[in-house]
Structure 1
Amino acid sequence: MTVAALVLAAAAAVAVAAADDAQSYPPPDVYRFHVVSHVRNRYAKTVVTSRVANTANVSREISFDAVLPETAFISGFVIEMDGKAYEAYVKGKEEAREEYQQAVQAGQGAAHVQLSARDSNVVSVSVNVEAQKKVTFNLTYEELLQRELGAYHLRINLNPGQIVNDLLVEVHINETSDITLLEVPSLQQSNDVSEEENSTNPLAHTERPSPTTAVVRWSPSREEQAALRAEGVQGQLLVRYDVDHAANNNQILVTDDGYFVHFYSPPDLPPLEKYIVFVLDVSGSMNGHKIDQLRQAMVSILDELSPSDNFTLIVFSSGSWVWWPDSSIYTFWYDSPYGPENDTDAVVPATPANVARAKEFVSGLGAGGGTAMHAALDIALRVSKAARSRQDMPLVMVLLTDGLPNGAPEEILQDYTAANVERGAALFTLAFGEDADFTFLRRLALRNGGFGRRIYEAADAHLQLRNFYRQVASPLLSSVNFTYGDGQVEKETLTRTRFPTLFRGSELVVSGRLQPAAPLLEPVVVGEGRQRYRSPARLEKASSGERLWAFLTVRQLLDMDAASPNQTLKDRAKEVALKVSVLQRACI
């Protein structure tokens, strides 16, 4: 048996299918498919087990495909055949593929794990299974659940490819704080976002053994699977839960192995007044359905602005236009004689009248021309400078584009990042459709205190855009800094301790290792808002924290490398990952 593990992780789906021509042989029988997830203090360990039989009278290749959550680590992969278990190990991809081909030619059982070149989110395992034999795939991955819009989200995508006799998803949640929310929405059977986000899954059964624990089981019969989809279940099962942040909003778990994990999510702060700049691509490639979705999304987003907010609308194609409510025409070419007298006039208070005018403007947007992104971002920074000199409030920029920028992406990265040092804007980038350069957009966001997101070109794109906006719509604190006492923590082990913004419904997490025999005295968390904000911490004991620390450390090192490629960061991420036997994108 040869298994080469060169793996990357990023979204969530599991599929098993035969690699042979379906007309040549009977299909393999996926007769057992289980997904069991244990969540302890937001950290989830999920095991996917699929038992498949080769029903043909000849040996054949069977594939197991998995797409994992974006930040997940693979911590184990075991294949069982002929009563033996074979554990994946790391090898160079060319050497591994050659060994695999030799085993197949010899008629031996073999497996090869590789990364899909087209879609880096997919891990594909090819297994040569002898006639009338069975194979069991066991994939284990781990992730720290993200808190979004007031809840933690565990997403499990399912696609066994057929009706399964024994299909089970089981989730065990164990928290140190009381669980205040537990929801299992209806199975999402497409990539589209549903308007019925709070619908209840009729096939899900929940138990609450105690205030701090919960169990979710979803095990549809063959008939129930067929009712969902004749070809077998295909979709995403979501478990959404939250804990009591009011009673425990500044929680530190001190573990037996010397690590600590600090969760911070104050629930009682009023949102800050904010200034948000929308930089929207209306180039020719946005024509048709995309521009329709953008218009629809922006009308919804403008409706959600607070009257205390300020905003600026910039649209760009071959040139850049800034919307100005007092102009007799709704847009002007920047620096034209029809524009405002100074940059501050482009900073618009979100009054009901201005919002109504802005909605009329975006409803009339058309598409055409090139993608002059560099100039549009320069204008965004120029206008934001005027706003910053006028008011002290969190500055958020949202860039949406569906294509490649005119000019060199590296030049945009360097120029915008350098100019933004003074502004301190948190930049969030949205890559709309398959043609957008997501790697570049993600780097741009990571260098500037934000994150990148993909917006899929589908009927629900306007809902994807709206839901993204809701995540960043309500900043509670800016310039948040975690400080731990001298001599208490091994400083080189600390994960990120400075954060540009804390948004409502989210959570900040810091981890590190304590100095030997050093107690962790109460740390200080300070953020800028209407006044400097401090919050006392609550210390509790937990069993183990090294894997969660490793997860945060590796993820942050790789994000830093994605923003500014650096081999030293890659080497350090690989070192930490191998220390705790996990594999992650770009580590190996």
Structure 2
Amino acid sequence: VILSLKVTDYHVTCSVVSRYAVTTVESSVWNQLPIIKEAAFEVDLPSSAFISNFTIGKVYVAQVKERAAARKIYDAAKKQGKTAGLREIEKFRVAVSVPSGARMSFLLTYEELLPRRLGRYELSLGLRLGQLVQNLTLDVSITERTGISFIKVFPLKTSRLLGRKEALTVWNSTCARIHYSPTLQQQSSVSAKGLNADFIVQYDVDLRDLMGDVQVYDGYFVHYFAPRGLPVVPKDVIFVIDVSGSMIGTKIKQTKQAMNTILGDLREGDHFNIITFSDKVHTWKKGRTVRATRQNVRDAKEFIRRIIAEGWTNINAALLSAAQLVNPPSSGRLSSHRVPLVIFLTDGEATIGITSGDTILTNAKKSLGSASLFGLAFGDDADFLLLKRLALDNRGVARMVYEDADAALQLKGFYDEVASPLLSDIQLSYLDDQAFDITRSLFPNYFQGSELVVTGKVKPGVKDFKVSMSATDSKQRVKLENDVLTSHVEGNGSTDSLSCSGDLEGISSFVHRLWAYFTIKELLLAKLNASDPATQRLLAEKATNLSLKYNFVTPVTSLVVVKPDADEAAQTPTTAKPTAAATTASTVTTAKVSASRKSSPSSNPRYECIFKNICY
């Protein structure tokens, strides 16, 4: 029998204000055993989230540091024999040795912007406990100024679904509160080993103004642009599918399944073609895209059915073949009234032909023209970095497709996101020099069910915004100008009875943090896409400085925790102070321990941190 520590409390609290979510996970464990035992605290983070706070026990200080500086602190602590932990991004796991009879607490906070996809925002909160927990609660509050059009709380996402009725949801036009506190019996009905599931909430907002919603707080603004009711623009879509040997088996079967459904969903006004590639490239209809008639769709499905996976992976040749369909050499460009899209799926790296990533990037950018390339990396062996850079260079995005039973649904879900273009070449402008330090405001496409977000700083005294939008719709280039009445966000609570926004402790000026969140992400993307080392260093430095200022754990910063010396800990029984090396921008907080620990050297907690299963 494996004896484990008892998790006495587990609380997840999430406050969403205008799509910006701040989630705190708190856990307390008690060592009821007669021996020192290790306690693990593990949280799966959304890929877009930044950690903004972590506390452990009573005298452990977590500071956000520049990555190299964090490594130096960690190495120095190791040399001195101190316990230290280093955490970067993606998955968070901490292990601490807890003396007999002692309690240990953990607290983690992370922040993210919920993207709008397929007409909804989705909040996913992991409940991975490993045992039944007596005091388990999950609380979500959502506040949306323009109104909540619908909200749905799903059954727990596990192999055995738990009914919706066990989560209490209360909401009005602008505010929702969700409370979930399963009893031990309800937890054991899912699994005797405790919950291992995702708690998922989906909702959408009312946004009646064509120009969107602008919110201002303390010198910062955010503009949400998501016009409804526009006609869908026909598309020229080229599916480029990897059929190399590594796709044999489940992957090719799932790809065929997804493509069969996707082809059936094409509209008659759409044009399409299919390219398959391994070491050779095969184009279904030579030299052109064809109209999505019933017969053409039937023929395409038959072509997909006959695909066999074998051979190597020639990514460069496949991209050049797609470019020839987007920009046919003989008949000129494709119709300007259709949006050109390339959906590129691969599960590996370039292994034959031109294999240099930089050369592939150069060739693709030169040949694809105005087409948007969407890269799908199928499984962990795919060259996701190359696909991200290809998408950045060519007006698209890249996404991972995970090797799981629902991979076909993942593929279909991604296609659905880009299946209905409404506008292309969108430029959002803020007139009369009212705004500055603006994030990205030029977008290649706006798809049905999505949302474009721009943030920036506002000059003092601005009462309303003059917003200009130019874009191409299904027929022509359009330009609109409008005074958008700004909403000045208040962080001291809401006037309604639910008081949702009052839960956002310390993050009331969410627009301010949202600007930093967006700016850091854009700096990191620009660094990824830059080839000049000096430019890369400058972009990294800017991203680092902002990450430190706002205490975000990002790819250029790390979270470092060092156990204080015994005399240092004795001097600070309830509040830990930063070390001399701490930057003034770092946020230092502490959590309480509900029982004292023995003072003998053998009972000092041991700390280790694991990043993607690598122990530091």
Which of the five TM-score ranges fits, normalised by the shorter chain? 0.7 to 0.9
Asked whether 1:38 is paired with 2:15, we answer yes
Contact between 2:233 and 2:420, CA under 8 Å: does it hold in 1? yes
| Separation of aligned partners in 1, 2:254 and 2:79 | 47
RCO (CA 8 Å, sep 6+): is it higher in 1 or 2? 2
| Separation of aligned partners in 1, 2:333 and 2:113 | 39
Q: From 430, 444, 449, give the equivalent of 1:505.
A: 449
| Separation of aligned partners in 2, 1:376 and 1:524 | 39
Segment drifting more, 284-293 vs 409-418: 409-418
1:568 counterpart residue number: 538
Contact between 1:489 and 1:515, CA under 8 Å: does it hold in 2? yes
Q: Residue type of the partner of 1:184?
A: V
**5+ long unaligned stretches in structure 1:** 1-21, 105-109, 325-339
TM-score (norm 1): 0.85
Asked whether 1:555 is paired with 2:526, we answer no
Report Cα offsets for 1:501-539 as digits up to 9, x if no partner: 001000001011112334543210111112233454342
Contact between 1:482 and 1:523, CA under 8 Å: does it hold in 2? yes
Q: Residue type of the partner of 1:148?
A: R
Asked whether 1:271 is paired with 2:271, we answer no
Q: What is the count of residue pairs matched by the alignment?
A: 523
Structural mapping, 1:53-68, within 5 Å: 53-68=30-45
| Separation of aligned partners in 1, 2:72 and 2:4 | 30
1:233 deviates by 0.7
Report Cα offsets for 1:249-278 as digits up to 9, x if no partner: 6111122x1111100000010110111111
Report Cα offsets for 1:271-324 as digits up to 9, x if no partner: 101111110000111111111111101000001111100111000011100112
SS at match of 2:57: strand
Asked whether 1:412 is paired with 2:354, we answer no
Q: From 450, 453, 458, give the equivalent of 2:404.
A: 458
| Separation of aligned partners in 2, 1:440 and 1:475 | 25
Contact between 1:315 and 1:321, CA under 8 Å: does it hold in 2? yes
Over 6 Å off, 4+ runs: none
| Separation of aligned partners in 2, 1:212 and 1:433 | 40
Q: Residue type of the partner of 2:197?
A: G
Q: From 262, 270, 276, give the equivalent of 1:315.
A: 276
Contact between 2:74 and 2:84, CA under 8 Å: does it hold in 1? no
Structural mapping, 1:369-518, within 5 Å: 369-386=311-328, 389-392=333-336, 393-406=338-351, 407-420=355-368, 423-490=369-436, 493-518=437-462
TM-score (norm 2): 0.81
Distance 1:399 1:51, change over 3 A: same
| Separation of aligned partners in 1, 2:478 and 2:56 | 52
Report Cα offsets for 1:114-152 as digits up to 9, x if no partner: 24xxxx621222323233211111101111110000011
1:254 counterpart residue number: 216
Segment drifting more, 386-395 vs 147-156: 386-395
1:562 deviates by 2.4
Contact between 1:177 and 1:248, CA under 8 Å: does it hold in 2? no
2:469 counterpart residue number: 525
1:330 counterpart residue number: none
Distance 1:95 1:388, change over 3 A: farther
2:603 counterpart residue number: none
Distance 1:234 1:139, change over 3 A: same
| Separation of aligned partners in 1, 2:469 and 2:348 | 40
Asked whether 1:546 is paired with 2:512, we answer yes
SS at match of 1:170: strand
| Separation of aligned partners in 2, 1:533 and 1:280 | 35
Q: Residue type of the partner of 2:44?
A: V
SS at match of 1:521: strand
1:68 deviates by 1.1
2:157 counterpart residue number: 188
| Separation of aligned partners in 1, 2:96 and 2:76 | 14
Q: From 192, 199, 205, give the equivalent of 1:230.
A: 192
Structural mapping, 1:322-361, within 5 Å: 322-324=283-285, 340=286, 343=287, 346-361=288-303
1:93 deviates by 2.8
SS at match of 1:453: strand
Segment drifting more, 523-532 vs 304-313: 523-532
Report Cα offsets for 1:140-177 as digits up to 9, x if no partner: 11111100000111111221111111111110001101
| Separation of aligned partners in 2, 1:575 and 1:95 | 18
2:565 counterpart residue number: none
1:411 deviates by 1.5
SS at match of 1:522: strand
| Separation of aligned partners in 2, 1:311 and 1:388 | 17
2:55 counterpart residue number: 78
SS at match of 1:226: helix
Distance 1:212 1:289, change over 3 A: same
Contact between 1:157 and 1:235, CA under 8 Å: does it hold in 2? yes
Contact between 1:271 and 1:475, CA under 8 Å: does it hold in 2? yes
1:74 deviates by 0.9
Name the Cα RMSD after superposition.
2.2
Distance 1:200 1:212, change over 3 A: farther
Q: Residue type of the partner of 1:409?
A: G
1:214 counterpart residue number: 176
Q: Residue type of the partner of 2:477?
A: R
